[in-house]
Each structure stands twice: as structure tokens, then as C-alpha cells.
Structure 1
């Protein structure tokens, strides 16, 4: 069922000009155009890393449902406080910029998801050396920016979230579109989150200063859906099982993922990039957004 619906919604995506990476960039080999199904094995899965044995994706493939796309259809699951959901990632050390073109829809066809907090996006997370047996609360540290339906099911929205020691702070804004390019840049302890809708231009969505995050992070793609059902369970239960009796409503497509190193202008060296009073949005957009690969 999901495969047919996913093909339908992905075929409606307008072609976006994709960025071209610097051939000398040491992160280029981690990028994925999703045109080769064999690259699926190059992506790590958080449920495998942390040995939960609970694959919360009902459907997951590269270049199978739709050529040139990674498609994910999640079961009911969520990221909030101590709740851990789906993360498909690669480990990145040091500064980076990660960019993807994302499209979301409800399971029944085109349109916004109808279950609350059903979104897909880019995520960065501090690795945890835990198993279900050694897991303790208070250990989640991450940032993400996602597109889908958040607190208003049936409407397209953006959700941005920062979580420090499992204390989550989120903000929801209108998106008005099923598709967007999303980008996250790390420069030292500064994290810049950007977005671009098909008819719009790149803009700075949020900035964070996170001195707690280590040099090596999990960087990748997340999907989550149906918070109402997932949150009925306590985090240790939700994190380690597949919920098959919920109301998940999300089909997510990722057109590509590009990794590259940021080229910070000399004039911004030593400045606090997370402080708009010190570095303006316009200054950030000189080397991020469409200029991230220059």
C-alpha cells in the first residue's frame, strides 16, 4: 500500500537544482544522491546502534519506491524529552554543512499528515553508548528541523527542536508547502538551521549555541508520526518496540543528502554566529544556503 502512495506523491515533486560539492571536500564521499539502492547499507540506524531490535520504519528504501529518492514510512514513534524515534545517519567529525530536499505527505495520498507531530527532517545528535539494559533517562542531546504536520494536523508546518539532557524546547511555524530544502551547519559550538521552500529563498530558521555537543555527531535523517499514540507509552517502552496499533500518517521522501565543510569568511572568524546582534542573517547567507558548496 505505502509503496504505491509514495510513488504518487513523489512524482508530484518539481525538479530542484541540486548543489555540486567541492571535489576536494573530504565529506563528499558521504553524500548520497539516492540513485543506487546499494548505498542503503552505508547508512546507520539508531535502533541497531543502540540494540533495541525495534525497527520503527514500515517502509525504507533507496531508489526502489521512486528512482533517485530515499523513502521512509514510519510506524507511530516520536522524538521528545526521553522518547527516541527514527534516525538514519552517518557520523561526522568537526564542522559540516548537511543539506537535503524533502517532501512529505499523508499515507492516503497527497496532502498534509492528519496525525499530530508527523514530520521528516534533518537531525544532529550526540551519540549514546547505551543498550535497552543500560539506558537511563536524561541522556538525549540533539537538534532537528523538520517539515510535516505538527500541532495542527492537516496543515504543513515546520518544527524545530533542541534537546539538552532530555529537556526539549520546540517551536512550530507555518510552512504552507509539502516540499522544502533544509540545511544544518555546524561551526564549532554554533549550529545554524536554514530552509528554502520551492517558491522562496534561503533563510535562517534558527540558531543555537551548544557547548555540550562533542566533536563527533550522528548527522542524518529523521521521521516521526502520531505523537498521541507514542506518548501513551513510557519512553523505555516506546523506544524499544514497534507500535502496530497506532494512527501513523506520514510518507517522507528525501531527494538527496549532501555533506560538505563550511567555508567561514575571514571577517566572521571568532564571532558568535548564534548571536544575530553580532552576525546578521545576510552575513550567514554569504557562505550558507545556496553558497554552502562554493
Structure 2
């Protein structure tokens, strides 16, 4: 079959009707959510997870332009985003489909690489729920993320992608470059994709694909950071205790820095009807779609 680019490639490969995917549904521009972090404080529109839902603040340090010129600098206390556990999260609420990108770096406080394990930061998209510190409900967390940093093995830089469905988390760790990288989350209807590239001159790489039958159009989209102090042993989850307490004494060696974060609508948009999507109206949801065709459809 001759090579076809962009939307037509996806349609040709999957036999989808052009009307199903090529006609975009009008959605308001979301570029006003962008933040270049070139001031001295967070711009309007950011929500901090702990403020919004009554949890203790697990941010050890946060500044804009103070530690690193033109960048957000965030140091988390010992914490984790996994299952029912929570950690620092700065977000903006996005209705409908989105293509969010950020240029980030995760480093140690004394060197280029954190000395701790599970020290990662990047982008997350979370489904809102009614749970909060005053009325916490287990098994209510639903979110997806892509982060960069140190995973299970000390000194080895990775991307971590993680999908959580009703507080059941599945993750993938893949080796990746250290230093500044660009991360990206794209939502097209019920399909959501995690991508990374080393810089603006490098090609995007698909690091994960997620599919969720989610009726709610809004997601909380933004920046996360988490770390595990090497002075503390691994322990079984106890969300009631661990979410309600912050170990400020445990030494940590991790900082997330963000040069910028930018929001836009995807090139492609899926039909609004749920049945149209699950019955083939969203060809991007086909798990057999070759990566080259997916990248062509999502664009650079």
C-alpha cells in the first residue's frame, strides 16, 4: 500500500470512515493555559492538589525563577503517586481532548542524578472524583502519567508511564536520557498517549498507550513530582496514614524543573458518542495501529 500521511494514513490503514475522524468537533482553544514560567510566581489558573482536597502539603520547596532562571523548581517530600497514595500535583482543569507538552528535567540536589529511587516528575492527567481528606474513599483514583527520572534501580534514568484504574496501578519503566527532555500527553476521546523526545530536533517516541471508557469530559492536567527517601524502608501501603502525614525529616535528593508547559487541541478529534468510539469511530484506539502511523496522525 502506498504511503499516506496524517489523517488519511490512519483512515486507510483501519478502513475508518473519513466522516468519523476527519471532521473535528469544535472545542475552545486552550492555549491560554500555557505557562512559560518566566515570572516570579505561579501564573493564574493553577490548582495545587493538597489545597483543593485538604491533604497535607508534600511540597518541600517550590519557586519560579529563583533556583533556575525561567523555570519552575519543585522538590517533593517522601511521597508517591501509586494506587491510593498521593504526592505533589499542580494542575489545570481541561474539558475535552488535549495535547499537553512540557520541557522538564529531574535532577538530584547535589548532582545531575538523584541518589534516591522512585524519584520522578512529569505530566499527569487525572479524572476528578468526590474524594477528599474529609471524606476519603478508597479505590477512587483514575489517572495516567508520563514521568522521567530514577526508577527502581538507583542511578538509572528512565521514563515511567503509569495507568491507574479505580486505584489499581500498572506501570512501565523504560531507559531514557538524563537531563532536559520533552514529555507529552495526548487525549483523543477514549484514547490517551504518552510520548517523549530528547529535544525539539528529535522525533517523538510513543512510550505508552492507554484506553479508558470515561464519560466525564474533564480531566485535571498538569505536573507531578514524587520521591522515595533512601533512608526509609519500603513499606506496605497504608493510604489513611501515609496520605495524612508528611515525613519532613526524611532526607530527599530530588528536584523537578519545568522550563514550560503548553496546552493545545489535538490534530484529530474523536466522535463524542461513546458507542461510535468503541465500535471503530476512533481509529487511534486500535492497539494494532503502527507507531509510525500513530505519530503521523498526532503530528509533531
| TM-aligned CA deviation for residue 226 of structure 1 | 0.2
Q: CA–CA distance in 2 between the matches of 1:156 and 1:131?
A: 33
| TM-aligned CA deviation for residue 231 of structure 1 | 5.6
Contact 2:95 2:219 in 1 (8 A): yes
Root mean square deviation, CA, Å: 2.3
Q: CA–CA distance in 1 between the matches of 2:161 and 2:284?
A: 18
- For the pair 1:154 / 2:152, whether they are aligned, the reply is no
Q: Secondary structure at the match of 1:65?
A: coil
Match of 2:294 in 1: 284
Alignment of 1:174-253 (within 5 A): 174-198=175-199, 200-212=202-214, 214-226=216-228, 229=232, 232=235, 234-253=238-257
Q: Secondary structure at the match of 1:225?
A: strand
Q: CA–CA distance in 1 between the matches of 2:292 and 2:269?
A: 13
Match of 1:64 in 2: 66
- For the pair 1:42 / 2:45, whether they are aligned, the reply is yes
Q: Secondary structure at the match of 2:221?
A: strand
Q: CA–CA distance in 2 between the matches of 1:265 and 1:50?
A: 31
Q: CA–CA distance in 1 between the matches of 2:51 and 2:238?
A: 20
| TM-aligned CA deviation for residue 265 of structure 1 | 8.1
Alignment of 1:74-223 (within 5 A): 74-110=76-112, 112-198=113-199, 200-212=202-214, 214-223=216-225
Q: Secondary structure at the match of 1:239?
A: helix
- For the pair 1:259 / 2:263, whether they are aligned, the reply is yes
Contact 2:131 2:140 in 1 (8 A): no
Match of 2:9 in 1: none
| TM-aligned CA deviation for residue 85 of structure 1 | 1.1
Q: CA–CA distance in 1 between the matches of 2:299 and 2:229?
A: 31
Which has the greater radius of gyration? Answer: 2
Give the TM-score taking structure 1 as reference length: 0.83
Task: Give the direction of change, closer, same or farther, for the CA distance of 1:238–1:230 in structure 2 (3 Å limit).
Answer: farther
Q: CA–CA distance in 2 between the matches of 1:213 and 1:72?
A: 33
For residues 61-113 of structure 1, give each alpha carbon's deviation from its aligned partner in whole angstroms, at most 9, with x where no partner exists. Answer: 22222222111011100011111111100000000000001111112122x21
Task: Give the direction of change, closer, same or farther, for the CA distance of 1:70–1:213 in structure 2 (3 Å limit).
Answer: farther
Unpaired stretches in structure 1, ≥5 consecutive residues: 1-23
| TM-aligned CA deviation for residue 132 of structure 1 | 1.8
Unpaired stretches in structure 2, ≥5 consecutive residues: 1-26, 271-276
Give the TM-score taking structure 2 as reference length: 0.81
Contact 1:115 1:247 in 2 (8 A): no
Match of 2:31 in 1: 28
- For the pair 1:274 / 2:276, whether they are aligned, the reply is no
Task: Give the direction of change, closer, same or farther, for the CA distance of 1:213–1:34 in structure 2 (3 Å limit).
Answer: farther
Q: CA–CA distance in 2 between the matches of 1:29 and 1:221?
A: 17
Contact 1:100 1:255 in 2 (8 A): yes
Q: CA–CA distance in 1 between the matches of 2:149 and 2:127?
A: 24
Greater CA drift, 237-246 or 167-176: 237-246
| TM-aligned CA deviation for residue 200 of structure 1 | 4.0
Q: CA–CA distance in 1 between the matches of 2:161 and 2:33?
A: 24
Q: CA–CA distance in 2 between the matches of 1:29 and 1:70?
A: 18
Q: After the TM superposition, list the runs of 4 or more consecutive aligned residues in structure 1 that deviate by more than 6 angstroms.
A: none
